[in-house]
Structure 1
Amino acid sequence: MLTIYGVYCSRASRNYWMAEELGIPFKSVPVIQARLLDDPLAPDARLNTKSPSFLVVNPMGQIPAIDDDGLVLTESLANNLYLARKHGGPLAGADVEEEGQMLAWTLWAATEVEPHTVKIVLTYDNAAENTPEGKAVIEASVKGLERPLARLEAHLQARDYIVGNRFTVADLNLAEVLRYAMSETYLLDRHPRVKAWLSRCHARPAFEKMMAGRRREAEAA
């Protein structure tokens, strides 16, 4: 069985969404980020990214990680590419050309988009969005997103989804990276095709199941 290490309110959300899309059974191990705990190494501390037992799984001390019948992988976007390839179906590439496109768009999301979106979400996580410093970070991040979103807007001009004109792992990976910037609604308003594409992605039942997991965690905190 697939084991996913990480709370839903983390990048592990990407792997939980993917598992729901594929309809495969999985076990959730709710490893929390060490930065959220006063003393992550305390004897009674929750399982976290500095816990010795988790460092055996991922020595880098980052979530998520997955263990798929003994194969351990530790990069959220790559985890999804692997799961799509293993289980096949419409989320996976129909041929080597589509696989190449899905890999390219995933790496593009990681290198050209996430460096900006993660700064936005961390600013909100730290409740700094209304401070001068936080506003400056958000402004710079939005500016950095303009060129990537313009490219994605143009790509979506003649298609509803990124590869093969169907929902695939490329859409899931990029939608999760872009979700970090959805607080800046004016940014998406300037890119209506991107906004509509995100709405299509988020209308999927598997996405709602993942978000329900996030809500349950928030209510239990």
Structure 2
Amino acid sequence: MTRPRLFGISGSRAIRAIWGMEETGIDYEHVPVTYGADSKGADYLAVNPNGRIPALIDGDLQLFESMAINLYLAKRYGGALYPSSHEDEARTWQWSVWGISEIEPLQMQIVIQKLFTPEDKRNPKVVEHATRNLQRPLRVLDAALEGRDWLVGSAFSVADLNVASVMHLMGTIGFDYSEHANVQRWADACYARPALARALAKP
């Protein structure tokens, strides 16, 4: 049986899927495709026609989109990482979609300004607007974590993995969410996981 192959580099959104793969503990091949020219060539486009990372090949399955990859990996290989009830499964899907719809678009506005826009062309109003509007979803997350350690069930799961992996970029841009104490506590626990350290150590 061939090993699953995961394409992408840790210094990109692919960190989400690399972290997810490391959480499963299975043997896999990491192919460090970047978001540059090597993800636009014919060989890679045959894996992910969008020309983006990450992507996964597992047997006959070819899969793109980090949330889908993590949900698949957790369900197939992750054991307790994936919920056991239909209700918790639905909540896991909910939080996974929530992360990329409520957090990521606003977060990326700040990322683009701080990391990809020349300093003399940055628009501080964009950062201010996104920072202000991120407070609403952060309050939602903070309330959901009131009196509990994890988003779904009583242990770290793919729901936590998916939301925390989206929010991992907040550390890169120096975004302070410490006023949301439950979010801070939860994020600290997520980012202390050895699987994330292993993922970040990869190219």
TM-score band w.r.t. shorter chain: over 0.9
Q: RMSD of the alignment, in Å?
A: 1.6
2:145 to 146, 156, 177: 156
- Matching of residue 102 in structure 1 with residue 92 in structure 2: yes
* Superposition deviation, residue 88 in structure 1: 4.1
d(CA) in 1 for partners of 2:10, 2:72: 20
CA deviations on 1:50-84 (whole Å, 9 max, x unpaired) are 11111111111111110011200111011100111
- Which stretch of structure 1 is more off in the superposition, 139-148 or 195-204? 139-148
- Matching of residue 60 in structure 1 with residue 50 in structure 2: yes
Whether the aligned pair in 2 keeps the contact of 1:117 and 1:177 (CA below 8 Å) is no
Letter in 1 for 2:28: F
* Superposition deviation, residue 212 in structure 1: 1.7
Structure with greater contact order relative to length (CA < 8 Å, sep ≥ 6)? 2
Q: For 1:115-194, list aligned pairs within 5 A.
A: 115-126=105-116, 128=118, 131=120, 133-182=122-171, 183-186=173-176, 188-194=177-183
Whether the aligned pair in 2 keeps the contact of 1:123 and 1:134 (CA below 8 Å) is yes
Q: CA, structure 1 residues 88+176, in 2 after alignment: closer, same or farther (shift >3 Å)?
A: closer
In structure 1, the residue matched to 2:101 is 111
Letter in 2 for 1:194: V
* Superposition deviation, residue 164 in structure 1: 0.3
* Superposition deviation, residue 85 in structure 1: 1.0
Question: How many residues align structurally?
Answer: 200
In structure 1, the residue matched to 2:18 is 16
d(CA) in 1 for partners of 2:94, 2:120: 36
In structure 1, the residue matched to 2:61 is 71
Letter in 2 for 1:192: A
Whether the aligned pair in 2 keeps the contact of 1:120 and 1:180 (CA below 8 Å) is no
Whether the aligned pair in 2 keeps the contact of 1:5 and 1:31 (CA below 8 Å) is yes
TM-score (norm 2): 0.92
- SS of the equivalent of 2:6 reads strand
* Superposition deviation, residue 6 in structure 1: 1.1
- Matching of residue 50 in structure 1 with residue 50 in structure 2: no
Whether the aligned pair in 2 keeps the contact of 1:4 and 1:12 (CA below 8 Å) is no
In structure 2, the residue matched to 1:28 is 30
TM-score (norm 1): 0.85
d(CA) in 2 for partners of 1:135, 1:212: 33
d(CA) in 2 for partners of 1:10, 1:52: 21
Query: Where in structure 1 are there 5+ consecutive unaligned residues?
Result: 35-39, 41-47
d(CA) in 2 for partners of 1:211, 1:134: 30
